[in-house]
Structure 1
Amino acid sequence: MKKSGVYAVALKQVKAKISDLLDLSVPKPPKNGWVRSIREALGMSGAQLGERLNLSRNQVSILERKEADETITLKQLKQLASGLDAELVYAIVPRQSIDDMIEARAMELAKQRLAMSHQSMFLEAQQLTSEQQQQALVQLANEIKTGSNRDLWKVSLQEKYQ
């Protein structure tokens, strides 16, 4: 994906930031959630946290349950964090690098397209050798990567019905 100018610089910076996160070890949240665990570690009651946030003890309890159930909003978490004199840290961390994700997706699409064309070539008795198939796969994947990003992430009919 050759991009030029300001967009290319911005994209490179975003990829670098994301790459920094790949080594991040994401801790598993405590069973009762971070808010309740931190509050209890501080020796703070639910009523005391509520007082700091102009909430009732019951509202704090509800929010703590929502956090543990993963139904709380980011806004609510941020509010609770401020009452604990803490920061809410939020990130979506890819399981692999952006370039690796793009490469894998391009190869996946190339395999699908090659399989469809190979099927028709088989019917016409013009099959490719395995070496030719591999070369075609790499070439097609490179063409897909240099094409439109929107095409790269379109869900194919084959994927839709899997």
Structure 2
Amino acid sequence: MPDFIQRRRLARILDRSAEQFADCSPPEKGWIATMRLALGMSAEQVARRKGVSRNAVYQAERSEKEGSISLKQMESLAAVMGGTFVYAIVPNAPIEQLKYQQAFKRAEAMAAQHASFAQWSPDERQDWIDDTAAQQLHDMHTDFWDDS
């Protein structure tokens, strides 16, 4: 498990990636067909460059749209068309926000286990949840991401 400083660096990398790819969604026809058509290449031309049949190119385009194409295949097709295949996992929110949401969820679950919690004032309950979430973030126990 990386230490705090390493996790923070990794979080910055992912957060920057999320900013760069925020408006990037796959084109309706998929990346392969879109690149091929933008270049004015036929499936036959791509197939010759790749050393496969035209039907293999069409099948790859269908597989991409279905989500069943391999990364290796995407990389290979991008290369024969003069492109680079980029693969990324982009967080839906900043990493710190995702971690805070998990810590808050854990704190609420812990609160539900306290028999007297419901008898506390709303301010006391909120303070306890906030403090517990902060502690969860600070400690980052190995079970932090467990669903229990």
Aligned mate of 1:131, from 123, 126, 129: 123
**% identity of equivalent residues:** 29
Summarize deviations over 1:129-148 as a string: whole Å, max 9, x none: 11111111112112222234
2: distance between equivalents of 1:84 and 1:102? 40
Equivalences for 1:3-152 in 2 at 5 Å? 7-24=3-20, 25-117=22-114, 120-121=115-116, 127-152=119-144
Q: Give the letter for the 1:44 counterpart.
A: M
Deviation at 1:149, TM superposition (A): 4.1
1: distance between equivalents of 2:7 and 2:146? 21
2: distance between equivalents of 1:75 and 1:97? 29
Larger radius of gyration: 1
What is the Cα-based RMSD across aligned positions, in Å?
2.0
Deviation at 1:26, TM superposition (A): 3.5
Unaligned runs of 5+ in 1: 157-162
2: distance between equivalents of 1:127 and 1:137? 14
Go from structure 1 to structure 2 and tell me whether the alpha carbon gap of 1:132 and 1:8 turns closer, same or farther (over 3 Å shift).
closer
1: distance between equivalents of 2:123 and 2:24? 45
Go from structure 1 to structure 2 and tell me whether the alpha carbon gap of 1:26 and 1:75 turns closer, same or farther (over 3 Å shift).
farther
Q: Which residue is equivalent to 1:159?
A: none
Number of matched pairs? 147
